[in-house]
Structure 1
Amino acid sequence: MASGGWGVAPWWGPPPPAPARPLTDIDFCSGAQLRELTQLIQELGVQESWAGGPQAGPDLIQAKDFVFSLLSVAHGRDPRFPARTELLLLRGGVRDGSVDLGPGRLGTYARGPHYDAAFTLLVPVLGDEREAPRVAAATPGHHWLRLTGTAQRTWRDCLACGGPPLDETPGDAKGTGPAGEGTREHVAEADDATLCPALVAAWFFSRLTAAAAASFPAPGGPRLVHAARHGAVTTLLLATSTPPRRLLLYDLVPAVALPGRPRGARALAWAGEPGPEPDGYYLVPGPAPRGPWRLCFARQELRLKARVPPPLLQAHAAAQAVLRPLAAGNRGLLLDDHRAHDDPAGSVAYLLKTLLYWACERLPGLYLARPENAAACCLGLLDELARCLQTRELPHYFLQGWDLLGDADADASGMASELARARAEPVGALRAAVEGAKAARKGGGVGGLGAP
């Protein structure tokens, strides 16, 4: 399992003593007192345990071991599942922006009513060096993967014809064949056979659920109560057996791990030199059924998070808590008309996280490290998100030439309007977030589980 942190001193340094702030220090837009907002952010931080996430008690450890055991059983039934590989475990589900998958159907899951804590697990496939894919750029942030020889025969049921020649970099992602059943028998030993992300995601889900059906839960261990596929994501809900009972959500995403740095990767201005852990990035299935693979920088993000000042992390978590119910209620955001029922929650949450990284690069570290500035930072992140939704412009933080909102065909005014209403009453939005976090902390997901 990869670990975060670079093992270096904090880049912002120790903050000097904070000056006294008057009671009249208020937010101009809403009239809310920043002191009250700061207190709510701190209370939300206590309820969500931002300092270290959910405590790694026996129930969480058993749940993680249960998921890993499912992967081992799947490998025994299908050798294409990696026997031994480096699994990247991230706190938060894909609906919290843990991984950039783009907008897509992610299902209706809410913390509190449906689960108590969420995690994301990236599972690399193609671990054998003999199966190394040949990579061709599609657009900034997207790649085709072409297999040859033994690897092509091994993955025959997950291949599709299409994609550009390896020496071309077209301006769009068109040209792929359909990802349906009708193409697979025609691509074996073909020069233009590409590994189809949608077919890999479908294979991953079918093999994993078959392994779960063949497994028997250990006495006193967690049990699987729900499994579903949402595009590239296999979502598992595990119920713990020891009090207090909790319902844990695991989002498993098949990925392709590649070494080095992709073309167009930018240097980070504030994060210093990378640590001893080698660079690398992932390719994950994107939202388009016929599209290419999507670049993922989860490893770099895990390292960066250890260098973000804690007050800014609290501000981001509070802004995310305010945004979560809004994103769930605006499913048509950033989508084509024929996908009007997709859920943009994960996409919008990743936009907010991108703004967090840009803030670290743009603003003074001493300002971001002051606890009394958490409220201003939270409101600033929400204001920046509203501006980006209106202009439909937000450069990707890790890759030059990739605008996260540049390919959005639909109008984002719906989410911008909802965000403006929440921004006008930040105290009420944060109080609601605190109450939701309290419900999740009590283990309310088990009792409230319906049909997510």
Structure 2
Amino acid sequence: MAAPALNRRAGSVNSIGSSPTATPNSSINNNRVITCYPELDFRSGTRIEELNRLIQEFSKHDQREYDDQRALEIHTAKDFIFSMLGMVQKLDQKLPVANEYLLLSGGVREGVVDMDLDELSPCSRGTDYDMDFTLLVPALKLHDRNQPVTLDMRHSALGHSWLSLRLFDEGTIGRWKDCCTLADHVNGATNYFFSPTLVADWFYESVAVVLAEVQRKPQRGMPRVERAERNGTVVSIVLGVGSSRMLYDVVPVVSFKGWPAVAQSWLMENHFWDGKITEEEVISGFYLVPASSPSGRPENEWRLSFARSEVQLKKCISPGLMQAYQACKAIIVRLLAKPKAVSPYQLRSLMLWACDRLPTSYLAQEDYSAHFLLGLIEDLQHCLVNKNCPNYFIPQCNMLEHLTDEMAMHHARKLALARADPTEHLRLAIEHTKTANRLTLELQRRGSTSGLPSPQSELGAGDQHQSDDRLAKKLQQLVTENPGKSISVFINPDDVTRPHFRIDDKFF
């Protein structure tokens, strides 16, 4: 990693020569000429101060503030999604009656969860949507079992598992056996293995039925369903509310309380979050998401996800490092997009490893974002060269093991270009973000001039309007106080009018 250097360096002018990256400022001390140079990145010659400025500029454009109107539109779309899921539950009673969803800011494309979908439909912020979310919807819950949880990993790659319904009661087996693959158990009984692909088939078909029914009988104030499609095992829905477009990547998952046995040794190590949050918060639960390993059987293999834990760990990451991560993610998403071999989720793992490796006092430095950005690029390049990127929670699981030597070196060379000129790549990321925001504003202007209805205008006047205004102000306060945080939501499908949601450890 490019370690921070002292702001003032001693030496003669001739020791630097006529480097175009140096701007000497000389002073005389005891008949010696002391030349002060700005802090530079040794590899690229870039001024660290300039890199810090660009990261701040990127953050300004990437993290947008929402006014009351936008906050209410977000709330309206969220309620529509929860109401739709309540209707899915009532179709065939497969989903749990009282369910707990995990709502994450950012879509599957942003690496919010470790999915690695091979084929995602073309969809980009600004052109197709203004903001994106990932919603994990438990199809099954194992919430009453003691930890650690032992999973059936005999047939799957490390970090993945099959799931037998023998863990559940006869009623659950009866509801879900049409979404299972069959295998004979040693005692001669039929063993039902919960199939991620069959569950995804059922989930998409159920969502499509509900959306068709809702659109057949639209209600006042209801969002426009502008797009609803399947991307592998994910259902992607773009909703239009007023002049806002929101992408929801909805993922059917299996939810567990406790902690998997395969990650038990990770708890024995020292971590950056020790003393900042409790172990109970970190190991409160995990998921199985519908994603197989490159060599696994997609119809049977689920991937372990620690998204719930990551929400807690995020609270312990310094703002400077988080800004550098977001900027680095924007660079690699554009640079390493085709052919896709590296996921933003892998970059997140590297950030968590860095938090364990480096002193907290160093990571807390507000003006070190440039060093963090350069270090993350170097870390990822090192992982590609060695074809080794350990999962943060299961270190023995190598997330780049499936890459060919040619693919790994191809992407490592691309990263070398970014490392040699980070300012240019960061400026491109800034321009891309500004363009997306500009497209969004143009759409909003067209919407306002064409008379597109807003939630306030459609929901009525008088007391209802005052209530919505109070709600909008409350939501605006929540958004302002909790930028980029993840939200855990509890909703009763029999009463979709009263969702209860949590932003980290706050309940509302």
Aligned partner letter, 1:157: D
- For the aligned residues, what is the CA RMSD? 3.1
- Indicate the residue corresponding to 2:272 in structure 1: 270
5+ unaligned residues in a row in structure 1: which ranges? 1-17, 167-188, 334-346
* C-alpha distance after superposition, 1:138-194 (max 9, x if no partner): 34211111114332221122111349979xxxxxxxxxxxxxxxxxxxxxx952321
1:397 is aligned to 2:392: yes
C-alpha separation between the residues in 2 aligned to 1:57 and 1:165? 56
1:146 is aligned to 2:174: no
Once the two structures are TM-superposed, the CA of residue 95 in structure 1 deviates from its matched residue by 1.2
- Indicate the residue corresponding to 1:350 in structure 2: 345
- Indicate the residue corresponding to 1:413 in structure 2: 409
Q: Identify the range of structure 1 (203-212 vs 146-155) with the bigger mean alpha-carbon deviation.
A: 146-155
The question of whether the paired residues in 2 share the 8 Å contact of 1:239 and 1:446 is answered with no
Once the two structures are TM-superposed, the CA of residue 129 in structure 1 deviates from its matched residue by 7.4
Q: What is the DSSP-based 3-state SS (H/G/I as helix, E as strand, rest coil) of the residue aligned with 1:253?
A: strand
Aligned partner letter, 1:349: P
C-alpha separation between the residues in 2 aligned to 1:326 and 1:108? 16
CA shift in 2, pair 1:358/1:400, >3 Å: closer
Once the two structures are TM-superposed, the CA of residue 86 in structure 1 deviates from its matched residue by 0.9
- Indicate the residue corresponding to 1:251 in structure 2: 249
Q: Mapping of 1:133-282 within 5 angstroms?
A: 135-137=151-153, 138-148=156-166, 149-162=170-183, 191-216=190-215, 217-241=218-242, 245-265=243-263, 266-267=266-267, 269-272=271-274, 273-274=277-278, 277=281, 279-282=284-287
Once the two structures are TM-superposed, the CA of residue 255 in structure 1 deviates from its matched residue by 0.6
Q: What is the DSSP-based 3-state SS (H/G/I as helix, E as strand, rest coil) of the residue aligned with 1:136?
A: coil
The question of whether the paired residues in 2 share the 8 Å contact of 1:122 and 1:252 is answered with yes
Once the two structures are TM-superposed, the CA of residue 443 in structure 1 deviates from its matched residue by 5.2
C-alpha separation between the residues in 2 aligned to 1:210 and 1:446? 33
The question of whether the paired residues in 1 share the 8 Å contact of 2:150 and 2:260 is answered with no
The question of whether the paired residues in 1 share the 8 Å contact of 2:70 and 2:244 is answered with no
C-alpha separation between the residues in 1 aligned to 2:112 and 2:150? 27
* C-alpha distance after superposition, 1:26-79 (max 9, x if no partner): 222222211111111101111122899999710111111111111011112121
How many pairs are equivalent? 392
**Match for residue 422 of structure 1 among 399, 418, 427:** 418
The question of whether the paired residues in 1 share the 8 Å contact of 2:104 and 2:134 is answered with yes
Q: What is the DSSP-based 3-state SS (H/G/I as helix, E as strand, rest coil) of the residue aligned with 1:83?
A: coil
TM-score, length-normalised on structure 1?
Answer: 0.79
Q: Which segments of structure 1 move beyond 6 Å, counting only runs of 4 or more? A: 50-56, 128-134, 163-166
* C-alpha distance after superposition, 1:308-367 (max 9, x if no partner): 000000000000111111233323x3xxxxxxxxxxxxx511110000100100011111
Aligned partner letter, 1:93: G
**Match for residue 303 of structure 2 among 286, 291, 294:** 294
CA shift in 2, pair 1:381/1:47, >3 Å: same
Once the two structures are TM-superposed, the CA of residue 240 in structure 1 deviates from its matched residue by 2.1
Q: What is the DSSP-based 3-state SS (H/G/I as helix, E as strand, rest coil) of the residue aligned with 2:346?
A: helix
CA shift in 2, pair 1:391/1:319, >3 Å: same
The question of whether the paired residues in 2 share the 8 Å contact of 1:144 and 1:194 is answered with yes
- Indicate the residue corresponding to 2:449 in structure 1: none
The question of whether the paired residues in 1 share the 8 Å contact of 2:144 and 2:257 is answered with no
C-alpha separation between the residues in 2 aligned to 1:229 and 1:319? 29
The question of whether the paired residues in 2 share the 8 Å contact of 1:143 and 1:295 is answered with yes
Once the two structures are TM-superposed, the CA of residue 23 in structure 1 deviates from its matched residue by 5.0
Q: Identify the range of structure 1 (30-39 vs 126-135) with the bigger mean alpha-carbon deviation.
A: 126-135
Q: What is the DSSP-based 3-state SS (H/G/I as helix, E as strand, rest coil) of the residue aligned with 1:66?
A: helix
C-alpha separation between the residues in 1 aligned to 2:177 and 2:85? 21
CA shift in 2, pair 1:424/1:373, >3 Å: same
Q: What is the DSSP-based 3-state SS (H/G/I as helix, E as strand, rest coil) of the residue aligned with 1:86?
A: strand
- Indicate the residue corresponding to 1:306 in structure 2: 315
The question of whether the paired residues in 1 share the 8 Å contact of 2:385 and 2:408 is answered with yes
Aligned partner letter, 1:280: G
